Chains A and B, each alone.
Chain A
């Protein structure tokens, strides 16, 4: 059947395909390592923020504790490699599974809380996770874990000094999260989740199970976040609680979607494309003192977007209403 929904979805898929081709080809001509690094981080955070968007944007459950799933994903894949000799290309899926499981465990008690209380609970849980890892010797405690350098290969997901293969791995991750969101948008789940976000009482009167909707969204969101964490760990080659589990990561994961437009397919990508280069630029100019300025920058951006374009930057590109009449 051809109507405005099916047309819109086909159009989105075509745009995404075009962007993917651009994202594959353009980096082939980039030699500058700093630029490649910024692109890699932008793609990574676009994917992470899309994962966050699946729970926070589509289902309306604002999580400020996604650093926990991110950190667990990177720890699981790293430790499986260090202690179990399981190659990261396999271990990262274990990281994803643990990320999803952790999100379910957090959701089980916390989804019974309403609105802001869920967000607050995720902050607290995230902080507890951070402190646990900081004091847990088996996982390296505050010292962290180095990922042993292995022969460059796809199996090890290590590519030596060559950044381009990493870029493609992260691009695949970003594309996978986008595709997941696109598929969800068109599915029964996507409709149920958006209904849960807009009006829970009306949703359940139509047979939508609120709790299992939130749990399903959390599992998918947490799993992709864990996967992203595993990839990040491999890319930087060293993880400790401060670099993968600290609270500001939770903000950094949520922020691109919030800036770009929550509950939209392009919001997280657009937001990451604006935010991450700016963040990297400011920290390279300001060096170690950049952290505080980062935060002020985020704060300022949130205020500007909230005032000027509450639906996110993506709404600048959108026609006022869809379809006929």
Chain B
């Protein structure tokens, strides 16, 4: 069953068409890759799904109910959580407190939120950093913190925007394991990533965007052979070769 349906979504900023007539569906329980070169419109699409921006045209549905235009708070309540391409943390708060902000979206009382946040930190491998301030974390730890904070809202759908970018290969592999563990909890994941070698082994399907449009959708094996994808990523010379 489709958890998320994106139906003809378009969005322009001034003269720039960030998303043009994008349509695809995300199946419950899958890890979907969202790839494409710089400026392809990946983050813009995340912003639309998470309610941060309202599409100019088209509709986004979660569990069959339209969510476009409801705003980020309503989207979070309905079960959409996200991380950000440029890390955002609550720097005056400790790691545990950061995650509690997310946990409070389901918990009414502090002890409940605290317990939930602590469990989430353990799940994300950050329990030993609970008392640090967010600004004291290393870059890969900050990425994990964003994931933990998002998971604490108990989402159905998790949007990860370049969570693995800039990490060493070892750190990236640890990140991949975390994403798998999230999926195994029954949470559907959409991952934006530049580096195809990292995403493709992880995802069941990938959507390739280019210049704001869907270039192709398919299984990883089909994606890497698709001449349009090769052209979009590497330029015409390589496609011909």
Contact = CB atoms under 8 A, between A and B. Distances in A.
Contacts of A188: 104, 107-110, 113
B131 interface: yes
Interface string B46-85: 0000101000000000000000000111001100011010
Contact of A207 (B52, B76, B131): B76
A321 B134 CA distance: 11
Nearest to A264: B92
Given A191-B101, A195-B90, A325-B131, A205 B108 contact: no
A322 B90 contact: no
A136 interface: no
Contact of B101 (A195, A321, A323): A195
Nearest to B133: A321
A194 B134 CA distance: 13
Contact of B76 (A197, A205, A263, A323): A205
B73 A204 contact: yes
A102 interface: no
A7 to B, nearest CB: 10
Contacts of B81: 205-206
Contacts of A3: 96, 114, 118, 130
B215 interface: no
B117 to A, nearest CB: 10
Contacts of B107: 188
Contacts of B150: 205-206
Contacts of A205: 50, 52, 72, 76, 81-82, 84, 150
A4 B100 CA distance: 14
A195 B113 CA distance: 15
A324 interface: yes
Contacts of B94: 4-5, 322-323
A300 interface: no
B113 A201 contact: no
Contact of B130 (A6, A204, A324): A324
Main secondary structure of the interface of B (DSSP, over half): mixed
A198 B93 CA distance: 9
A325 B73 contact: no
B93 A207 contact: no
Interface in B20-39: none
Contact of B104 (A4, A191, A323): A191
B94 to A, nearest CB: 6
Contact of B105 (A194, A206, A322): A206
A120 B91 CA distance: 25
Interface string A54-82: 00000000000000000000000000000
Contacts of B115: 1
A207 B110 contact: no
A202 B89 contact: yes
Residue of A194, A204, A207, A208 most packed against chain B (CB within 10 A): A207
Given A1-B115, A208-B73, A321-B136, A203 B131 contact: no
8 contacts: A1-B111, A4-B96, A188-B107, A191-B93, A192-B104, A194-B92, A201-B88, A202-B149
Given A191-B101, A323-B94, 13 more contacts: A187-B110, A192-B101, A194-B92, A194-B101, A195-B101, A198-B91, A202-B84, A203-B101, A205-B50, A205-B81, A205-B82, A206-B105, A325-B131
Interface of A: 1, 3-6, 186-188, 191-192, 194-195, 197-199, 201-209, 263, 321-325
Interface of B: 50, 52, 71-73, 76-77, 81-82, 84, 88-94, 96-97, 100-102, 104-105, 107-111, 113-115, 118, 128-133, 136, 149-150, 152-153
Per CB-CB distance, the 7 closest pairs between chain A and chain B, nearest first, are A323-B131, A207-B76, A207-B105, A202-B88, A198-B90, A204-B72, A195-B101
